[in-house]
Structure 1
Amino acid sequence: MTFNRVKTFYPTAYAFASQFFEGVSKAMPLNQKDVLLDVGCGTGTLTALLSKRVGRVTAFDISPEMIKQAEEISTAENITYSLGDATKLSTNEEYRNSFDKVLSYYVLHWIKDFKIVLEGIHQSLKPGGQCFVNTTHSDPNVIDSIKALNGYTSPKWETFMKGYEHLYYPFQGSVDEFEQMLAGIGFKDIDCTRDIPKYFLKKDEGKAFLPNFMGQLERFPEDRREEYIKDALTFVFDTAEEEYCFTFPVITAIARK
C-alpha cells in the first residue's frame, strides 16, 4: 500500500473492517480475557473493533504513518500500538508464548516469503492459542482492477514504469498445500478454506480506494502523480456502471498452537 496516501483509505477501510469483523470473531471466538496480537494492523480499523471484544490488544505495523493513523482512529486504553516488522516476529522474545489469539488480516500477500511470518505467529501464541490468518490466492481474476492499475502504462508513462515490479504475492499453491505448510510449522486443529468474496464500491469510492495500492506512484515526480492517477483510473473505470465489484480469491485459516 502507498503509505503517504493512506488517509484516502479511511472510509473504505472502515467499511470493509466493519463488514467482515463479525466473520473474524465468529471463526475465532473472542472473550474479555483474551490477549490478542494484531499483525500488520494498518490503519487500525479492525483493531478498534477487536478491542471491544478482548481484554488487551497489541497491534503493530511496519509503517509509522499507519501507526499514526491507527492511533487517531482509536485511543482505547486496552490497545498498545508499536512499530514492527512481521518478518521479524519470530525473533521477538517479548512476544513468545504471550497471546491467546493472533490475527493477520490481509497482510501475508504483501510479504514475499510469508512462511516466516506464520512461524512467528506460532511462536507468539500461548500453547492452545488460536490464530486467524488470510491471504489472497493466485487466480486469473485476482484483484483485476489493482493489477490493471499497476500494469497500466502508455507511451506517456513508459519512462517511469520501466522495470517496475509490484510488491504483491498471492499464495500460489492449493488450499491443501497451505494447510500442509501450517501443519509443518506446528499448528494443529487447522480449518483452511478458499472463498471469493465480493466487495462493492461506488465508482467515486473506488477512485479514492485504488490509488492506495499503486506502489508505482513513488516512481513519479510529485507534480505528475495526479495526472497519472487520473489516466489510470479512467483506464479502469471506463464503464457506465456506477457501482464497481472487486473480487478477492482468499485462503483463510484458523488454527491452534
Structure 2
Amino acid sequence: MNSAENYITGNDMQHRDTNDLIGEFKYELSLMQGKCLDIGCGPGNITKDILLPSLPDEATIVGADISQEMVNYARKNNADNHLSYIVLDIESLDLPKDQIEQYDNAVSFYCLHWCIDLRRAFENIYKLLRPEGKALVMFIAYHMGFEAYIQLKQNPQFQPYLQDAHRYLPYFQRIGCKDMRASLEEMLRDIGFKILHCRNKEKNFRYSKQSLTNHVRAVNPFIKRFPDEDIKNYFLEKLVNEIIDQQNDNVPLNINKQKDDIVLKYYLLIAHVQKPST
C-alpha cells in the first residue's frame, strides 16, 4: 500500500468508483467553498485529476495520507496552486492542534475501511471540520477478495507473515456486522453528525488475471513482509488464485461474464454528513 507507482497502476476500481461518486455528488461538490481535506489521498492523482476540477475555482485542497512515501510522491508529481499535501493519521489519538476546525469540507475515497478504529476516524473528521462543515466519504463495507487473506493464513508457509490478517478486513466485514448502513448511521449520529445521505451500495468490477494481479500488488499489506522475491511472488500468485476460486459462487446473476473475466462483487458505504453549527 505504500508504493505510489504500484498503486497508480493498480487502482482502476478506485478510480472508476470515485469518478462515479463525484459525478453523482456534482452539485454538492460545486458548493464546497473554502478549504477541503482529502483524507487518504495516496499519491494524489485522483485528488488532482478528479476532485480538484469538481470544486469551485477558489477552493483549496489539502491532501492527507498516513504514508510519508505517498505524500512525497504527491508533492513531487501532483502539486497545484490550489493543492498541497500533509502527513496525517486519521486515527490519531492526538490530532495536531493546528489542524483542529481548519476545514470547511472533507472527503475520503477508499481509505476508511483500512481503519482499525473507524469510530475514532470519524470523531477526528468531526474535530477537523469547522461548524457547519460537510464530509463526503466512500469506503468498502465488504469485499469478497479480502476473505482470501484468512484462507491463506492457514498455509504454514504464509502463516508467520499473516498473523494479523483479520485486522486488514474492512471494518464492518471484520466485526461481522449484518446491517452495515444502519450501524454506520448510528455511529455518525452518536458522534454528532447530521446525516444528509447514507447508503450501502452493491458494486462489481471486471478484471483480467493480470489486472487483478496489479490491483492485489498495489493494495496488499503483506507483500513487503516476505524476505525474498521468490516467496513474495509465490504468495501473490496463490492470493490471486484464491480470489479467483472464491468468485465462482459470488458473481452477480446479471453479469454477462466472458471466459477469462474475473468479476468481483463488493459493497461500498457512502455517507454525506454535516457538523452542526455551535
Could you state the TM-score of these two structures normalised by the residue count of structure 2? Answer: 0.78
Find runs of 4+ consecutive structure 1 residues off by over 3 angstroms.
31-34, 153-156, 158-164, 234-241
How far apart, in 1, do the equivalents of 2:242 and 2:182 lie?
A: 37
| Paired position in structure 2 for 1:40 | 40
Identity %, equivalent residues? 20
**Gap regions ≥5 residues in structure 1:** none
SS at match of 2:136: strand
| Paired position in structure 2 for 1:246 | 264
The one-character-per-residue Cα deviations of 1:138-162 (angstroms, maximum 9, x if unpaired) are xxxx322232155326767256347
SS at match of 1:88: coil
User: Structure 1 residue aligned with 2:137, among 108, 133, 147?
Assistant: 133
Cα gap change, 1:57 to 1:234, in 2 (>3 Å): same
The one-character-per-residue Cα deviations of 1:16-61 (angstroms, maximum 9, x if unpaired) are 3255324235334234733210111112232112122332101111
Q: CA deviation at 1:232?
A: 3.0
CA contact (8 A) 2:138 2:270 kept: yes
CA contact (8 A) 2:65 2:71 kept: yes
The one-character-per-residue Cα deviations of 1:194-227 (angstroms, maximum 9, x if unpaired) are 1111122222111111123332324421232123
Matched, 1:29 2:33: no
| Paired position in structure 2 for 1:51 | 52
Mapping of residues 66-145 of structure 1, within 5 Å: 66-88=70-92, 91-137=95-141, 142-145=142-145
CA contact (8 A) 1:13 1:45 kept: no
| Paired position in structure 2 for 1:225 | 232
Cα gap change, 1:76 to 1:89, in 2 (>3 Å): farther
How far apart, in 1, do the equivalents of 2:44 and 2:163 lie?
A: 33
The one-character-per-residue Cα deviations of 1:178-209 (angstroms, maximum 9, x if unpaired) are 11211111111432111111122222111111
State how many pairs are aligned.
Answer: 251
**Gap regions ≥5 residues in structure 2:** 249-257
CA contact (8 A) 2:201 2:269 kept: yes
Could you state the TM-score of these two structures normalised by the residue count of structure 1? Answer: 0.84
CA contact (8 A) 1:164 1:216 kept: no
CA contact (8 A) 1:102 1:125 kept: yes
